[in-house]
Structures are given as C-alpha cells and as structure tokens.
Structure 1
Amino acid sequence: MAEKKQTIVIKKIIVSGGGHHGGSWKVALADFMTALMAFFLVMWLLGQSEETKKAVSDYFSTPSVIEYNFQNFGAEITLEKLFLDILNEPLKAFQSFMEPADQTPNLLDMGSTKVVAAYLADQMNDVAKNVQVTPEGYDFDIPDYMLFERGTATPNASFVKVMDKIKGITTGLKDADIKLTSGLFVQAVADGNVMTANKVAAERFDIVRNKILASLETNTVSVTGGISVKEKRGEIDPAKLVGFIRVKIAQKEITSDGRKPRKLEALFGPSRVDMSVYDNFVNQISNRKKEQEAPKTLKEQVDQELNEAAGITTPSTPTE
C-alpha cells in the first residue's frame, strides 16, 4: 500500500494590537494637572489678605509697562525710553518687561521727556495749557473756569473731573516738589476789590492743595505755593478775564534714600520742528481719536465684515 502523505497545515496567527494612540493620555493628564493647580491657587488666594488679592488681580488685569507704552505712545518713544533705561538702569529696564503698568505712575521716574509729554497729552490734552517739560520736571496751567465759578472759589460742575486728571499725574509722585500758583485778576471778582481778589485766590489755592495732598501715596512729596493777584489796565470785560491754577512739578535735589535723581532725557528729539514735544503729541492723539471716531464708508464696513467672516485680522497702522 502506498503510504498516506501527511498534510502540513500552516496556521498564521495575526495579533492585532490597539494601535498607536498618539499619547492622548498625556493631554488629559496635563489638563487635569492644570485644573488641579488652578484649584490650589484659588484656595490659596481665598486665605490671603485683601491687599494681596488686589495685587494679584492687578498683575493679571493690567498690561506690562512695555505693552502699555507701545499701545499708548507708539514705537518710537517706547524704544527711546527702553534704550535710556537700559543705559541708566539696566536691571529696572529688564524688570519692566514683566512688571504690570503702574496705575498711578511716577512721571518723574519715566526717564524720557517724550514719555512724560506723551502721557500728559494723552491724559490732559483738553485741560492743560502752556505745558512745558524739562529735564527737572514739568509744569502746566489750568484755566480757572475749568475748576471754579467765575470770580469765586466755588467749585463748578467740572471741578471733580479736572481734579481727577490732576491727581492722576501727581498721586504716584515720589521725592518731588509740587508748587501751586493761584492766579487771578482783581477785576474778575464781583466788587473789583484787591482784598476780595486775594481772598478768592487764597481759597482756590487751599482747595486744590488739599485735594492733591489727600491723594498722595508717599510722604516724600511737598506741596507749596502761593497766589498771584494782578490788576488789568484798561476797559476789560470781567467775563473775559481768565485766571489760572499753575502746577509746577520738579524733582528734589536729593531723593529720600540719599541719591541724586535721574533727570528726564531726550534721545531722538521732537518729531516736528514747528511744534513743541507736548503739542506734537496732542496733535497725534487728537488725530488718532478722530480717525477712531470717524464713521466708516460702506466699502470699509463691507470689507471688515468679509474679513471677520474669513477670520482675517486687519493690522492697525502705527501712528507716527
């Protein structure tokens, strides 16, 4: 008999695994750890003082100094300030990259006359007159009709608004001298009497001085000054006589820690030779506000809507 051949059967076993999952578990773990960290931060904050809570809130709600300067003053003066800071105070310059912008800035510590002029133009362009910025400080006038009823020491409707603007540039000062001058014409008061004019001017001085003193954050700032009462010769309409509150702010010769203060410097000079630094920035800010408030044409509105629908962001043109 023929031998029966044995059939060889080859069984191929294929083991199929779960496949490569791309490390999705790492994402889930990272989200969990982030949520856990946030939870512990919240629990830590709940146990802190109100001062600490406010400091943490301000840090996350306010831009850095560099970001704030770029947004408000443009690239030129921001780079000028940064360059001057690096030359004079390198550690402070690098710290400003991360430090939130101070809500009550010390303008005398800005280092650049351009930054001071730009800040004044941004904050007080519709209030301050005769603005001057020097290496030692700055000064300006506030017409009396913006603060008081004509010929009196009675605050008017805009007094609080204007004083808030003044306090915005004086509250954060350190190692500074603030000199106030209350100016008034004799003919501006009702009876045209010199003694009455002196009394009104002195009362105005005391009101403004007390408001500034109450808002100061340090005791290294002095607020002094006096009155300036003059007679106007000739036939003058009393309603057209304008007095003033002059504010002159300067650095002290020696700071409270015994150092000489750093002067305000200018690196690039004014952008326009026919304007002062302050007037130049007032002009720029006014033009920028007009452009922002100007109504858009139909074409601009349609283009904006199409860009927004397509997810395209139109870059803004920096103000020169």
Structure 2
Amino acid sequence: MSDDSQRPIVVKKIKKGGHGHHGGAWKIAYADFVTAMMAFFLLMWLLGSSTKGDLRGIAEYFQNPLKVALSGGSGAGESQSVLQGGGMDLSKKAGEQRRGDGGKEKKRLDELKEKIKQAIDGKLAQYKDQILLDITPEGLRVQIIDQQNRPMFKSGSAQMEGYAGEILKEIATILNEVPNRLSLSGHTDAAGFSTGDNSYSNWELSADRANASRRQLLTGGMASTKILRVVGLADSVPFDVVNPANPVNRRISIIVLNKEAEENIMKLAGKAAGDAEAVSDPASAIQAGVAAATEPAAAPATP
C-alpha cells in the first residue's frame, strides 16, 4: 500500500479563452469594406436619380461652398433642394423647370387647351377645321390656317378678313386668363411675288400678317405686355412639307409659352446673363434668328 503523502503535488493552470487571441484586425478591414460599398452604391443611386440641374448644383456647391454659406439665413433653401438649408437652390438654374413647377404649368396649359376647345365647339364651330391645337416643347400652340376658299387675309396683303378677326378676338379673352406670355409667327406658302425677294417679299408679308394678328389680339382685350415675340417666317417652316403651295401653309401660329421657352427667348435676345442655350425645337431656332417685324407696308399685287 503506497503512501499518498509521498505523491508529488501537480498544479494545473487552466487558461480561459479557448484557443487564445488571434487579433481583430480583419474585423476592422471588413467593416471598412462594407462602409465603402455602402457609400459606393449610395453614390450610384444619387447619380441615377438626380436631374441635370441637381448635379450641376452639387458641383457648384463643392466648387464654391462660400457662395452657399453667404446665401444662408432664415428660410434659406427649398424643401426639395438637394442642399437643404444652404441658401438659394443652386440646382434651380434659369431655363430648367423643377418637376413640381413644371407639373403645375403643364396642368395650366392643358386646362387652357380645353377652354379653347370649348370655344371652338361653341362660338367658333364654323371655323373648327381652321383652328389647330397642340402641345409643343415651347408650350400650347394655336394655329389658324387658311382654306382654299376661305383665306385669313386678302391675297398678297396683311388686310385681315372679318372671320379671322373674330377668331382672334375670341381667343384673346381666353389667353388673357393665364399669366404666360405669347409668341406670334406668320407663315406663307411658297408662291412668291413677281418682284422677287429683293423688294417686298413673303418675309415682309408674313411679318406684317403676324403684326396684324397682334393688333387684333389687343383689340380683343389682351394686355400688350403678354406679347413677347412677333416674327415672320415666310415659307421657311411649311405645315405641308410635301406640297409647299398648299393653302394650309398660310397660317398664323400663336404659342402660349412655358417658363423655360420664355427664358430661352430672353437669353437669345440678350436679356439674361449666361450663354444662350438651344431652343426646344428647330422651328424656334429659326424664329429666334428673324428680326422683329415692322408695321405693315402696302404690298404690291401678287402675280
């Protein structure tokens, strides 16, 4: 029998913590990676969902943050601005409508179109085939066209027929209900004068007819300040491209301008700072290059 007192005493030291510490640097690296990926996808989402105006506003903010800081103060910033509380909304550049404002303006033009339609179906029913309505990038366009047996003006002259004056007077009262400004353009067919373009030509005739329409609108009660542009385009923008001699090419076009189109015209006329931007369609580009129409002169007889 062994003596237990002679056995050696063994002290066992237990180290808690499993397999020991291997370092936590990988956790930090992984957290950095996840954060970077979140930032990347957030950036992609912002770039994809922002308008051009917003992106330019953001770029301008980072290029000149002092400009935004100095514009701050009570009520600074807009509720829809990408620069909340940062002064004026730099993303709202002249000529670019914010979605909210553009929606209200479109609704107003649609309602105006419906009112003119009602007038056409009512008082102007007999001239229904000669009045065309459509929405263009510049705004609501009202075109009054000639028919073979019922022209708006006497041949080769800016003297308006009575029925055309009635149409314009009726339209004037409706157009006066909206704050939008107007652009008037006169158009002719391709039939020229015997004297050629060196004397009185379709250019002068179309401008004189546009001006005669302007005066008739004023007679109908329209405020003179609503007219922004009056131009003559001769036969350069035909309604019927295939048949330039078609009577429908002789027409008066009235455009109820949206805000963007109005600002573009003002820019092209030198009334706003900054470089002029392209207008919304080729017809407008032609209109912008035509000189302002003068008062009508006596026209020689057509051939």
For the aligned pair, the TM-score class normalised by the smaller chain equals 0.3 to 0.5
TM-score using structure 2 length: 0.38
Q: Which has the higher helix share?
A: 1
TM-score with structure 1 setting the length: 0.36
